[in-house]
Structure formats: structure tokens, C-alpha cells
Amino acid sequence: MVFRISFVILVLLLGTIQAQDQYSNQLKEKIAELQLKLVEDIFKEELIKSLREANELLLNKNCTSTSCSASEVDLKQEIIELQTTANSLQVMVYNNNQQMQSIMIEDQLQMCQALLEKTKSNPRIERPEATSCVPFGFFTGIRVLYLPGASPFRVLCDGHSIGPGWTLIQRRYDGSEDFYRNWGDYRNGFGNLDKEFFLGLEYIYRLTNYQRCELYIYIETFDNEITWARYDNFVIGSEAENYKLSSVGNFTGIVDRLTSHLNIEFSTYDRENSPNKYSEKYHGGYWLFDGLNLGSNLNGRYLPYKVDDQQSINWETFNSVKAVKMLIRPKMEYK
């Protein structure tokens, strides 16, 4: 399956904007060919080989905006972005979870094909009224989104971690940002998009109610293990509903620790929407319930070591984790 992503990387390096039709046809042919490679046990070797070849192309090209055409500069940037995506996928490969590999790589194939089919001239044009990060493809960085009823707002698009088009809504990895915050902070968002942050419940509400969204949760433990969970219909309610977790949809992944929070209202230490002071008890704003049995606490206290603590950022058990990311993307329908 990783063999497929290696071929996609090489195919994407072949085209230029001037030969878009031929480029798209080549990709479609390769996708059909790659369907036959599902059972070949050469995934890791082929991925490493393709990364080396991509790097050689990048070094040999060695063009700048003054020495190469615009399409060649775009090609160089595309190589860089695809290398980063493949490097992230390589971590997943070595995690040796076949279900995860299959979902991630099939997702890459489908998104690549969909983006190429929709592209007419320059695939790198930034669309000024994007309602999600999908139009930006494999780009990773800050963009502005536009949604009805809301002022334009900045988000961090992530096209590298698990494929193109995702929007980060929460990120934690070093404890530099305090997540024991009041209702207003959680409603409006806090932190720095370049570091640790929470996008804001009002923005998440509007994003998940404007179009059907899937949610991806990425967790890295202090044992350097990666776990993940994916939900195909993530929705939260409005502020009048206390941003209740209205839906998560179907689960795929390693461990499900979010479904238990379904229909629970969001709580912070100054606005407890539960019978007891759960936000104070678990040290964070979240969809909290007593005991958190089969639940999680992704906005809890950051601890820089592994320890069994209900107040810590935790997922599968009460053991604190090293890093967590929550990402959303419109649920894509492929023809």
C-alpha cells in the first residue's frame, strides 16, 4: 500500500502546468496500475527509494524564480511538499498498522485525483473565499477561511501529516500554552497557530455545521508510539447549546475514546455545564463526565513525562501523552 504512495509521488513529479491533460491521464493510469499492488510486501523499501529519487530530482533541478519558469518553480515546491508528506507517512508505515496504512494511503490517492480533475490552469492559485483547507491541497501553513455569518478568520492548514486539505483545530506538544482557560477563551480560541493553540468553539461550530466534516485525532505517547482515531461526521452545537458534542459519526482507527462523550456539553472552570465541577477536577475545558470511563481528556494539564493522572492530556488510558493534534476536513465524496 505504501508502494502506491511512492508511485504517486513519482507521477506527480512528471507533469507541468503546460501539460495538465497528459499529467492527469498519467496519474489516472498509475492509479489503476497501483490497485494491483496491494499485496506486495515491499512497502518500506519502495517508499525509501522514491524519497531518494525525489530528492535527487530536487537537487538536480536547482532552479529559482529567476532561472526557471513559474511552472518549474511550482514543481520544485511540489517536490518539497510531497517529500514532507511521504516522510510523515513513513512514520505510520513503521508503526506497522495495516488498517491505518490502507486508510491513509487510499485517502492520498483519492484526494490527488480529485484535486487534479478540478484544476483547470494553475493548481497553486489561492482561492480567496475558501471555506476549508481543501482548495490548498498539500500546502501547510496559515490561510484565511470565509464562512457565512462569521468574519474571515485565520487557520492552520495541514497538508502533510495525514494527507491534503486538513485544518488543525487543536495542537499540543510542549506545554507552552495553558489550556486551563475560561469560557470566553475556549469560545474565541487562544494560543499561537505556529505553536500550541485551540482554534475556538465558535469557529469549530461554524465549520462543522456549514458542511459535513470528519475529525482526525493524532496522539503520540511518551513511549514513542502513535495512535489515532478518525470519525466521519463530527459536529458540535452552538453556544446556546453549550457547544454540545452533537455527533462523531462512524469510527475507524486504533482506539475510540470520543464516542463516550457524545451529547455532553462543553465545560470550563467558570461555566460548568455538568452536575459537578468536572472542568476543575480534570483541569481543562472539554466535554467532561464523571470518571471519564472509556473517555479522554485532550485539553487537560500538559505533563512532560509519562504518569497515570486523570488531569493530564490522555486518550487510551489515564497515562499522560507527549503530543496530540485534532484536525478536521470536509467529508469528501469521490466519484
Do 10 and 146 fall within a single domain?
A: no
Mean pLDDT of the chain: 77
Does residue 335 form part of some domain?
no
Instruction: Give the domain-ending residue among 92, 118, 144.
Output: 118
Does residue 127 form part of some domain?
no
Residues 6+ apart with CB under 8 A from 330: 132, 134, 165, 211, 212, 213, 214
| Separation between Cα atoms, residue 233 and residue 235, nearest integer Å | 6
pTM above 0.95, yes or no: no
- Residue 161: predicted pLDDT: 85
Do 108 and 144 fall within a single domain?
A: no
pLDDT tens by residue, 246-292: 999 999 999 999 999 999 999 999 999 877 889 999 999 999 999 99
| 315-318, long-range: CB < 8 A, 24+ apart | 315/217, 315/219, 315/227, 315/229, 315/255, 315/257, 316/219, 316/227, 316/255, 316/257, 318/292
Do 172 and 277 fall within a single domain?
A: yes
Do 230 and 284 fall within a single domain?
A: yes
Do 37 and 146 fall within a single domain?
A: no
pLDDT at 197 over 90: yes
- Please count the CA atoms within 13 angstroms of the CA of 213 that sit on its side-chain side: 28
- Residue 163: predicted pLDDT: 83
Average pLDDT over residues 155-173: 93
- Residue 275: predicted pLDDT: 77
Do 58 and 93 fall within a single domain?
A: yes
Do 114 and 138 fall within a single domain?
A: no
Does residue 258 form part of some domain?
yes
What is the residue range of 183's domain?
A: 134-330
Residue type at 208? T
Does residue 125 form part of some domain?
no
- Please count the CA atoms within 13 angstroms of the CA of 145 that sit on its side-chain side: 27
Q: How many domains does the chain have?
A: 2
